[in-house]
Amino acid sequence: MSSVEFNTLLIGNADFLKPFAFTLTKDAEQAKDLYQETLFRALSNQEKYLEGTNIRAWLFTIMRNIFINHYRKKAKNRMIAEPSVSDFFLNYQQSPTSNKADTNLRMKDIHVAVYHLPQIFKQPFLLYYEGYKYFEIADILQEPLGTIKSRIHFARKILKTQVLRH
85-94 mean pLDDT: 59
Q: What is the pLDDT of residue 83?
A: 57
More confident position, 79 or 24: 24
Could you give the count of Cα atoms lying within 13 Å of 54 in the half-sphere of its Cβ? 4
Q: Residue 15 corresponds to which amino acid? A: D
Domain residue ranges in the chain: 1-88, 99-165
pLDDT digits (tens, 9 = 90+) for 113-138: 888 889 999 999 999 988 999 999 99
Q: What is the pLDDT of residue 17?
A: 87
154 pLDDT band, cuts 50/70/90, is very high
CATH number attached to the domain at 99-165:
1.10.10.10
Query: What's the CATH architecture for 1-88?
Result: Orthogonal Bundle (1.10)
CA distance 159 to 126: 12
C-alpha distances out from residue 137 to 16, 65, 110, 131, Å: 77, 62, 21, 10
Portion of the chain with pLDDT greater than 90, in percent: 31
62 pLDDT band, cuts 50/70/90, is very high
Do residues 55 and 49 touch, judged by C-beta distance below 8 A? yes
Residue 88 has pLDDT above 90, yes or no: no
C-alpha distances out from residue 144 to 50, 69, 129, Å: 75, 59, 19
pLDDT, averaged across the chain: 84
**Secondary structure of 22-52 in HEC code, one letter for each residue:** HHHHCCHHHHHHHHHHHHHHHHHCHHHCCCC
